[in-house]
Amino acid sequence: MPFSLHFLSYVGATPMGVVSSQKESAKKGATYMQSVKSAEDSRRLSFLAAILFTVNMGSIHMSSFYSESFFCCLSMWGFTFLQCSLNASKGSFTFDLLAVLCFSLASFFRSNGILFLIPLLVHNLRSCALCVHCAGVLPRGGEGDRAVKAKRLSCSSDEGHTLSRLPYKGTLLQFALHWAKALLEAALVVLPLLTFQLYAYHLYCVQGHDDQWREERKQFHKFFLSFWANPLEYASGERYTRVEDQLIRRPWCKKTIPFIYSYIQREYWGVKFLKVVRSPSAGVLYALPVYFVSLHAVYDFFLCRKFPRGGEASFLLSPFLGGVLHLGVLCLYLLLFAHGEIILRLIASSPLFYAHYAYQLKYSERWNLLLLANLLYFFVGPPLFGAYIAWT
């Protein structure tokens, strides 16, 4: 518990943005979390966010040996490293790499880890000097503006201040290398999910493997090492099942894209598009407080954006954008394609949720009732979970 509080006090500061990032955004007209005006305010708010995480509504999953706790830990570290990368004057590549590794490892625990592609994309847009320049965030002008350009680019790219001095071909090369790196980062995040799908397909759908092969590679980590040691071996066309083969074919094996995860979710968990409408369940009512906080954070962020004339693209530099989009897409996905109530545990991976929640509790008395509901969930949650109520 003390370690969690100590760690999360720093994590909480990440969605708040380091104070310098907050002030930089304020100059561009951003008013989201505008009451945080000093480092002391940020530290206090971060500590409150840490307390809220400690007594979160999905406590049963955070305090037990469950995939959710590992996923949440890696998610928090990943977001933290992304923010460190933006704030670091040197060594941003190291922080980028650590963030990608955290997100990639998180994808081994849960398939929704691929949603980390969203904050990664936003981060790469912010750290791409040419993208920021072309978006019109930077002032265009003569030599007198170069100091301003360098200062503003420094918050999003270590190499941004050299943009105006690079030749045209050098700028394009820098742009190409930047997005080649971004593509590799995205591949690392998606890799665990794709590997697991290939593992299931070769284990259950491919006729060419004998019983000894299946026994040796029944464990995922053995298949993972074997597959990536020689991926071309698994691409051999003669291994795949023919119609006349006697292997029992699972229904999902016949799909154009044989995706075991969606099949299991549909057949065994009753997941389908617009399930919350087509098969309404009272369980989603338990999750309403979480949806309220999450959607309020997204709404409040875009509502509080006040752009100066010609500066509409300045939201790209907001320290909150990646977390807001990740939180919004997660909520939308769960409402459209899943059991809505599982957000009670999945929300623990979003640092912005706790940052916004803490901010509203500190600066708005109307949110005290929500805190009461939070504490009720914290204490009543374990017996509800044991009775298969609310948490799935």
Say whether both 112 and 200 belong to one domain: no
* pLDDT, tens digit, 9 for 90 and up, residues 316-349: 777 889 999 999 999 999 988 888 888 888 898 9
* pLDDT, tens digit, 9 for 90 and up, residues 155-164: 444 444 445 5
Q: Using an 8 Å Cβ cutoff, are 24 and 151 in contact? A: no
What are the angstrom distances between the C-alpha of 114 and each of 108, 120, 388?
Answer: 10, 10, 28
Say whether both 115 and 196 belong to one domain: no
Say whether both 98 and 188 belong to one domain: no
Residue ending a domain, among 239, 267, 295, is 267
- Asked whether residue 145 is assigned to any structural domain, the reply reads no
State how far the Cα of 146 lies from the Cα of 169, in Å rounded to an integer: 20
Say how many domains are in the chain: 2
What are φ and ψ of residue 30, in 5° steps? -75, 135
Query: Residue 351's domain spans which residues?
Result: 2-127+277-386
Q: Using an 8 Å Cβ cutoff, are 242 and 310 in contact? A: no
Say whether both 240 and 283 belong to one domain: no
Residue ending a domain, among 221, 248, 267, is 267
- Asked whether residue 9 is assigned to any structural domain, the reply reads yes
Say whether both 6 and 121 belong to one domain: yes
Q: How confident is the model at residue 118 (pLDDT cuts 50, 70, 90)?
A: very high
Say whether both 209 and 286 belong to one domain: no
- Asked whether residue 345 is assigned to any structural domain, the reply reads yes
Say whether both 235 and 307 belong to one domain: no
pLDDT value of residue 180: 95
Residue ending a domain, among 202, 236, 267, is 267
